[in-house]
Structure 1
Amino acid sequence: MKLQDDIPLTIYFEIGNTKKKIEDLLHITKGTLYRLENSTKNTVRLMLENEEIGTGKILTKNGKLYVEIVELKR
């Protein structure tokens, strides 16, 4: 069987997350700050279909953001 390698998939680059109560979310205003859990400086998790597939490092070049792949899980 031939692999369908032309199907588009979206890779998400996650820098961190936080958990908040609904009560807190109802009071979000412009300027609200949230500290990210599970976040280290310049490190991102590569996510595909809710599965972590690797890690990367945030870089900037000519004013644009890039992610350099550091590790891939096989």
Structure 2
Amino acid sequence: PNMESGYGRADIILIPRNKSWAGYILELKRANTNDIEKEAERAFNQIEDKKYETLLKKNGVKDIVKIGIVFDGKKAVAYY
């Protein structure tokens, strides 16, 4: 299940056992337009806008990697 964090639910949040390691937030989308690079950027911005990093920060994680990924068939584009 998606865990609530900030103002909504991120698709994937990876919380490291060792708080000195990086935590990861991934927002996944399916392509709706021909500009999947722009859609990947929007997915990344959703992470920022909805403050999905709140859960990681509450768990003491300082290094947070945010990645927006858009899938178009077998092709994927990431923005980070």
TM-score of the aligned structures, taking structure 1 as reference length: 0.22
Name which one, 1 or 2, has greater alpha-carbon Rg. 1
Higher helix share: 2
Q: Determine which structure has greater relative contact order: mean sequence separation of CA pairs < 8 Å that are 6+ residues apart, divided by chain length.
A: 2
